[in-house]
């Protein structure tokens, strides 16, 4: 489950931000974007909203957040000269938006890496220095979106694999960790991270010793898992058994904090009936759950639980965690990206600016199906 960005040049001094997954198609003169000087004077990246013109305030909800982040990063990373001719950028995400799976972080990493490449600051984003730079700017994008994010989501998206993360410290890559099959369940129950965090805070104020014990236990099992990941000779069976215990323990501890939800418990009940360990993920209170799929899991069990919960309106996303992080490329399967995109005719109705010769490729990218994105990256 990844996010993908395509950047194409323009000739009309406009910028276009196309986000088909949240129905955003913004086209404005490049002069509407804030300048490097303006963004550098902000006390906090999120303050950029106070200096945006009306043309960049037309969307609400997720669209407004995305446009505001785009405006900040463009202003901070591109000089006036680099915007002169204009450009278009389309970002597609295979992650459900607003479900606690880090879709915002994936968007910000894709956007930051694309703009840094456009500005000539990074090349492939495959080395440690370039990835640190991408991560730094993606975090600023997260600040626009969330105010005071932890930084863990953008770090995992940027560096890939598994990370041992401690706030205010550089993430540590767990090099020997294997990829793991999981099922991601989207209950489609809306949640408020702010309200959930506030609820835990109230609980801690009333019972500090008990809640601190729960938090310490969560930290202990996380550290234990990280230590096991670091051992290259850990047998897969032992790792799976340990992680199954950790998943169940972590969920129980989160339930004790009051952040579960009946829909999440329904997912856990259905999967545990097939010996598939499950925990809530994200802030809880709705949103998503994660099920660990052991290597010897029955296909029949997987098919039946997906069918059962899908019939109740719960969406399932089978995927693998532990994959590669950010990457920048102009080639797909040995073929130039624009050539690869041009292999299929584009519906002319999707092309809003026919005088820009790259718009058909952008429209094709915007209309790709999820399976077609499999050719773009692992």
Which residues are catalytically annotated?
153
Q: Calculate helix-pair angle for 128-146, 152-159, nearest 10 degrees.
A: 150
Collect all residues with Cβ–Cβ distance below 8 Å to 248 and sequence separation of at least 6. 277, 279
Three-state DSSP state, 84:
coil
The answer to whether 64 and 19 are in contact (CB under 8 A) is: no
How many separate helices (H) and strands (E) can be counted in the chain?
12, 12
Which of these, 80, 10, 17, lies nearest to 355 by C-alpha position? 10
CA dihedral sign of residues 187, 192, 195, 197:
positive
Which of these, 229, 225, 271, lies nearest to 249 by C-alpha position? 225
Which of these, 244, 234, 221, lies nearest to 292 by C-alpha position? 244
Three-state DSSP state, 166:
coil
Collect all residues with Cβ–Cβ distance below 8 Å to 286 and sequence separation of at least 6. 187, 189, 190, 191, 261, 263, 264
Tokens matching residue 288: 């998503």
Beta strands in the chain (DSSP E): 3-9, 14-19, 24-29, 86-93, 163-164, 172-173, 180-186, 278-281, 288-292, 315-321, 331-332, 335-336
CA dihedral 106, 226, 174, 333 (to 10 degrees): -50
CA dihedral sign of residues 326, 330, 335, 336:
positive
Which of these, 256, 255, 296, lies nearest to 278 by C-alpha position? 255
């Amino acid at each position: 489950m990844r996010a993908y960005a395509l950047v194409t040049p323009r000739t009309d001094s406009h910028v276009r931000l196309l986000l088909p997954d949240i129905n955003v198609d913004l086209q404005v003169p490049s002069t509407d974007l804030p300048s490097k000087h303006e963004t550098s004077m902000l006390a906090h990246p999120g303050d950029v909203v106070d200096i945006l013109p009306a043309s960049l305030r037309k969307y609400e909800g997720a669209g407004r957040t995305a446009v505001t982040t785009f405006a900040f990063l463009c202003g901070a990373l591109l000089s006036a000269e680099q915007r002169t001719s204009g450009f278009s950028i389309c970002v597609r995400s295979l992650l459900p938006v607003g479900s606690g799976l880090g879709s915002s972080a994936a968007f910000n990493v894709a956007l930051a890496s694309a703009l840094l490449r456009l500005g000539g600051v990074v090349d492939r984003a495959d080395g440690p220095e370039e990835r640190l730079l991408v991560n730094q700017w993606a975090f600023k994008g997260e600040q626009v979106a969330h105010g005071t994010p932890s930084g863990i989501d953008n770090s995992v998206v940027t560096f890939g694999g598994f990370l041992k993360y401690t706030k205010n410290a550089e993430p540590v890559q767990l090099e020997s960790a294997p990829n793991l099959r999981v099922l991601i369940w989207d209950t489609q129950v809306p949640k408020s991270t702010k309200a959930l965090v506030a609820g835990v805070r109230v609980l801690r104020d009333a019972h500090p010793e008990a809640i601190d014990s729960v938090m310490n236990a969560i930290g202990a099992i996380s550290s234990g898992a990280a230590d096991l990941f670091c051992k290259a000779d850990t047998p897969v069976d032992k790792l799976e058994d340990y992680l199954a215990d950790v998943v169940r323990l972590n969920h129980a501890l989160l339930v004790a904090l009051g952040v579960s939800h009946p829909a999440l418990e329904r997912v856990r009940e259905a999967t545990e009936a097939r010996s598939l360990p499950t925990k809530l993920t994200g802030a809880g209170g709705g949103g998503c759950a994660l099920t660990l799929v052991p290597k010897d899991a029955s296909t029949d069990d997987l098919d039946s639980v997906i069918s059962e919960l899908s019939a109740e309106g719960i969406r399932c996303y089978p995927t693998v965690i532990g994959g590669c992080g950010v990457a920048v490329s102009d080639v797909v399967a040995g073929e130039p990206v624009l050539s690869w995109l041009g292999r299929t005719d584009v519906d002319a109705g999707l092309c809003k600016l026919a005088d820009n010769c790259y718009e058909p490729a952008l429209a094709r990218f915007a209309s790709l199906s999820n399976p077609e994105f499999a050719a773009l990256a692992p």
